[in-house]
Amino acid sequence: MRWYILKVQFNREDTIREALEKRIRLSNLKSSFGEILVPTEDVVEFTRAGKRRVVKKKLYPGYLVIRMIINDDTWFLVRETTGVGDFTGSYGKPTPMTDGDVERILKLAYPDADEEATPKTAIPFRPGDRVRVKEGNFQSLEGDVDRIDEANGRVTVIINIFGRSTPVVLDHWQIESL
């Protein structure tokens, strides 16, 4: 069995995975299929009230990862499932994933119990963006985003104070885009 990437309808990855699993269960080809994954990662988001919540974010929207043996019957079963586009590959032939890519995706899907996986913080800013401080000591001042620390949810903003450029470290929810 090898791992392959399937193109599927955007935002329907989970329902297509369930439909595919159901079709596999009803067929006599169960031994030709392994896992079907929608690769996700945990991301910390903050509500408008500043409340922290962890959500699952799809790493590859519009794609599934499937472990299977390719033959005419399995290929037809997968391709005839509603919502499935095609396998990734060239010249109409599915191309198996490399071992390194599979390992990276499986590590995200099944993190080790002894590894403390700290979720990334979803920060809607990029270096160079112009922002305004909404809260705190520098409220209503404007500046440019310099650095982003996704692990801690902090943003370094260069603010012009008394004619000097001053780097200020702020929580990402303390600033807004202009």
Going from N- to C-terminal start, the domains of the chain cover 2-120, 123-177
CATH 1.10.287.3510 for the 123-177 domain, yes or no: no
Q: Do domains 2-120 and 123-177 have the same CATH topology?
A: no
Q: Name the 3-class secondary structure at 161.
A: strand
What mean pLDDT do residues 154-176 have?
Answer: 90
- The Cα-based distances of 110 to 1, 32, 37, 81, 167 in angstroms read 19, 22, 11, 26, 39
Residue, of 143 and 52, whose pLDDT is higher: 143
CA–CA separation, 76 vs 106, rounded Å?
26
Q: What is the largest CA-CA distance in the chain?
A: 75
State residue 115's pLDDT score: 53
What mean pLDDT do residues 26-31 have?
Answer: 91
What mean pLDDT do residues 80-91 have?
Answer: 88
pLDDT tens track for 37-60:
998 888 877 766 667 788 888 888
State residue 37's pLDDT score: 92
Strands in 29-87 per DSSP E: 33-37, 40-46, 52-58, 63-68, 84-87
State residue 118's pLDDT score: 66
State residue 42's pLDDT score: 80
Matching CATH number, 2-120, of 3.40.50.720, 3.40.640.10, 3.30.70.940, 3.40.50.970: 3.30.70.940
Nearest alpha-carbon partner for 7 in 105, 95, 109, 71: 95
